[in-house]
């Protein structure tokens, strides 16, 4: 073959390859979360990551939201649910949300304190006067204001999903009045309000991971802990704790969050449909969580725990004991939020 012909044929091959690669690069977007446009013909992918099991109220509600989202958008949105920390765990799910690596998460309310200290409102002891007050707060103007405070972080709060009220357990004696806590040591989540809570009662507090709490109770590292009925039941604390006080003094709940850029970039009709789906999924989750928590309470009684119920006078005594805690954290949390909750019935 002549040299000129060889050069010509080689040049044609190179140009052909370049054309193919360029055409491939101009194809449809990848199937990553939030990458599709509404008119691309492909469904918009919304990745929903959470850390609990698929069988938990949160897990079941996430699946319900996925089902409703498909129905209400005529399959224009596909919600992919990843339970049990399959994608991200507690420590990195918020970073993943802000980076839009996932579009939706549902962390514990207390995980948001680092962004906005006012979320510590759920830790103030004996502040909420029953479940209805909790729902009124989150669904009302103050709850919406608190959720919207996350917007500067690139996050939107969509809904509160219930876990339940915390109750005290211990292995020494019944806890009915503030003085009964004196000298005892309790496992707690990390948080300044929670530390101050036990200090006000003359008790000690130790921050211990949730997964290590059973062993800490079993070995006597701590005397007691605080948790929802369902957590106490499923973690089998009744095996290592004798006394249960129905105190309902604080909350353990979740906030469903979405990446703001992703959400704002959705067509208005799709966003409205997803809001409706979230509303229905929230009603479903709350009912399920309440039923499950009550069933766990019955399980704990059957397991032989000695149950102490607080009278209105007992609750008033605790509220008085915790006045210094309210005063200490009023400015940090916001007096507006505290007064707003106190006004709820």
Q: What percentage of the chain exceeds 90 in pLDDT?
A: 83
Mention the CATH class of domain 33-342: alpha beta
Give residue limits of the domains in the chain.
Answer: 33-342
244 neighbors 167 (Cβ within 8 angstroms): yes
- Determine the Cα–Cα distance for residues 240 and 215; give it in Å rounded to an integer: 9
Residue 83 tokens, joined: 């339970």
Using DSSP, state whether 311 is helix, strand or coil: coil
Q: Per-residue pLDDT tens for 252-268?
A: 999 999 999 999 999 99
Give the distance from CA 306 to its chain's centroid. 30
Is residue 118 scored above 80 in pLDDT? yes
Q: What is the pLDDT of residue 91?
A: 86
Does 139 have pLDDT greater than 90?
Answer: yes
- The 10s digit of each residue's pLDDT in 199-225 is 999 999 999 988 899 999 999 999 999
Residues contacting residue 123 through CB under 8 Å, at least 6 positions apart: 110, 191, 193, 194, 197, 250, 251
């Amino acid at each position: 073959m002549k040299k000129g012909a060889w050069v010509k044929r080689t040049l044609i091959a190179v140009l052909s390859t370049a054309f193919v690669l360029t055409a491939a690069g101009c194809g449809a977007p990848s199937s990553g979360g939030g990458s599709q446009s509404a008119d691309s013909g492909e469904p918009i992918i919304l990745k929903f990551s959470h850390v609990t099991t698929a069988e938990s109220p949160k897990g079941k509600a996430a699946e319900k939201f996925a089902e409703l989202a498909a129905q209400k958008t005529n399959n224009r949105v596909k919600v992919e649910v990843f339970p049990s920390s399959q994608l991200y765990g507690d420590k990195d799910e918020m970073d993943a949300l802000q980076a839009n690596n996932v579009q939706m998460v549902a962390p514990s309310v207390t995980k948001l304190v680092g962004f906005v200290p006012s979320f510590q409102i759920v830790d103030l002891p004996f502040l909420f006067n029953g479940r209805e007050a909790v729902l009124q707060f989150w669904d009302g103007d103050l709850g919406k204001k608190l959720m919207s405070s996350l917007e500067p972080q690139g996050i939107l709060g969509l809904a509160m999903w219930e876990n339940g009220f915390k109750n005290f357990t211990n292995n020494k004696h019944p806890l009915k009045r503030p003085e009964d806590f004196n000298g005892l040591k309790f496992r707690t989540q990390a948080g300044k309000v929670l530390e101050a809570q036990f200090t006000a009662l003359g008790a000690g507090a130790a921050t211990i991971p949730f997964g290590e709490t059973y062993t800490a109770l079993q070995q006597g590292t701590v005397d007691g802990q605080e948790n929802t009925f369902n957590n106490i039941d499923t973690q089998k604390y009744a095996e290592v704790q004798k006394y249960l006080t129905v105190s309902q003094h604080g909350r353990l709940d979740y906030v469903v969050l979405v990446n703001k850029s992703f959400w704002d970039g959705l067509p208005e009709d799709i966003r409205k449909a997803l809001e409706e789906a979230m509303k229905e999924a929230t009603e479903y989750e709350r009912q399920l969580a309440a039923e499950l928590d009550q069933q766990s309470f019955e399980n704990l009684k059957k397991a032989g725990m000695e149950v102490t119920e607080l009278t209105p006078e007992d609750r008033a005594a605790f509220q008085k004991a915790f006045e210094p805690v309210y005063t200490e954290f009023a400015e940090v949390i916001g007096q507006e939020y505290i007064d707003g909750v106190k006004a709820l019935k």
